[in-house]
Structure 1
Amino acid sequence: MALSRVLLASGRSVDLTELRLSATYGDVLEGYPCKLLNDLAIAGLLRSAEHVHPGVPVHLIPPPREYPDQFAGGFGPVEVLPAVTCVGSFRSEALDPGHDRALYRSRLTVVWFQPTPRIPSGCDAETALLDMDWEQLATDEEL
């Protein structure tokens, strides 16, 4: 059973089967948000997603980055990502029309950022999530 169903802009519906939400800067004890910190955190998220879901492609939706007018420290200007980090596992019907629909499905793990901790559902999701090219990013697997 899925947590929710998302309707992509392409018309394909995908089921969200697992979702991990976390505060983007919840683990930051010292320093300030900057490009270096953000890039390291994103790389860690991608490695973690690949480890948790081996064999499933992982796609990063590049996050919007804001540069508030604040003092730049030793690591450069302040760079802020949206407040909530999301790692979701999605599945849908098989990509290959020759695959038996009862025996195959397509899967993709997606990492994205959003301003609030809400579960994407229907057409109510971040635009970049709805616009992802499932046919190019996902892979079929046999059940």
Structure 2
Amino acid sequence: MKIKNVMSPRASVIHFDKTVVEAAMMMEAQDVGSIPVEKNDKMIGMITDRDICIRVVAQRRDPNITTVEEVMSEGIEYCFEEDEINSVATKMARNQVRRLPVVNANKRLVGMVSLGDIATKVKDPSISHQVLSGVSHH
């Protein structure tokens, strides 16, 4: 089964120079915990709810002026919409991530796939177990 059959087809990006408040508002509105960060039409990282907690709140930075680029997790793992679910599950487990952006052949963002998507849409429970085990491993 291809990842395009289980991914969430809607995905947003946030521009690198937006504020952390804007990122948090996007997360709330979309009910997500991470958003890919875009700069010069390329994904350069992810900002997560954990990034906001650890790198903004815990460090007492002002979220109204702190930019997404200052606190995002740099680099980005992604998968292609034509990738097989097994290979994506392996990548998620290996990289200890619960969500991956999904891109098309032109590397344009077309969706997001999460552990929840795999757990609820894939009939083989060993695949979601693989991701969860990898993500939970310290």
Larger Cα-atom Rg? 1
Q: Same fold (TM over 0.5)?
A: no
| TM band (smaller chain) | 0.3 to 0.5
Higher relative contact order (CA 8 A, sep 6+): 1
TM-score (norm 2): 0.33
Between Structure 1 and Structure 2, the one with more helix by share is 2
TM-score (norm 1): 0.32
